[in-house]
Amino acid sequence: MKNTLILIPPSEGKTPGGNGRSLKKASSHIKPMIDALSHVKDSEWGKILGVKGKALEAAVEANTNILTSPTMAAIERYSGVVYKAIDHTSLDQASRKVFDQSVRIVSAVFGLVKPQDMIPDYKLKIDKLGADKYWKSLNAKTLKDVFVIDLLPKAHQKAVEYDNGVVVEFFHLRDGRKISAGHQGKHIKGRFIRWLVQQPALNPECFVQFTDEGYKWNGEAFTKKV
């Protein structure tokens, strides 16, 4: 399928540091979010970021120095469960190329991020500082005339808009009830993304072939009896 993009969320976990040059200056499309971060009062950070102690101190430092701190490729920066399951470095060259060309990471600060985009460390959820509302119209322009394979959580879906696509979710079936796979779903989501970029084409018709860990595609979602 031509003009297909896979949308995935960033991760709370991020690799600190980096060897890339700092951004120095915010581009026009990310400047409003950088400005929003710069206007946060010290007393407000804890509530906005939802962390405490040393984690809060590290997050505030990262956000305060977002334009001057070193960068690294986004696929290396994000280190959460989904990204560990994707295991980008172990993909063969052809699959890495598909991944890098077709995947977009929906960031609260940087918008639709390509895997090889160089970004600094930061911390901000998509539903804070109006990030979802700000990015929605901008992301809609990028996603126009694109078929979207949407693996985003509900919060991140509010930051995108597209006319043509499929939402991919993972559920457990227990006693006839459908339950979100939750944290366990992050691992299988990463496995699915990895599998998808290794297929001959990014086409929902092939979803039925993915059966890792007992999940099966029913035309609307992946389900697994537990």
pLDDT tens digit sequence for 36-70: 999 999 999 999 999 999 999 999 999 999 999 99
For 198: left if phi > 0, alpha if psi spans -120 to 50, otherwise beta; the answer is: alpha
Cα 221-178-166 angle, rounded to 5 deg: 20
Residues 6+ apart with CB under 8 A from 114: 74, 100, 103, 104, 105
pLDDT tens digit sequence for 88-108: 999 999 999 999 999 999 999
pTM of the model: 0.95
Determine the pLDDT at residue 2: 62
The total number of structural domains in the chain stands at: 1
Long-range contacts of 130-135 (CB under 8 A, 24+ apart): 130/36, 131/33, 131/36, 131/159, 132/108, 132/156, 132/158, 132/159, 133/158, 134/32, 134/33, 135/106, 135/108, 135/111, 135/159, 135/160
Please provide the average confidence, as pLDDT, over all residues in the chain.
95
Per-residue pLDDT at 217 exceeds 70: yes
Determine the pLDDT at residue 181: 87
Q: Are strands 4-8 and 216-217 parallel, antiparallel or unpaired?
A: unpaired
| Residue 224 dihedral angles phi and psi, to the nearest 5° | -145, 130
For the chain, percent of residues with pLDDT exceeding 90 = 93
The residue range of the domain holding 97 is: 4-225
Confidence category of residue 200, pLDDT binned at 50, 70, 90: very high
Residues 6+ apart with CB under 8 A from 204: 149, 166
pLDDT tens digit sequence for 66-87: 999 999 999 999 999 999 999 9
pLDDT tens digit sequence for 153-192: 999 999 999 999 999 999 999 888 999 888 788 999 999 9
Which range (15-29, 122-136, 169-183) has the least confidence?
Answer: 169-183
Candidates 128, 120, 126, 158; CA nearest to 10 is 126
What mean pLDDT is predicted for residues 126-136? 98
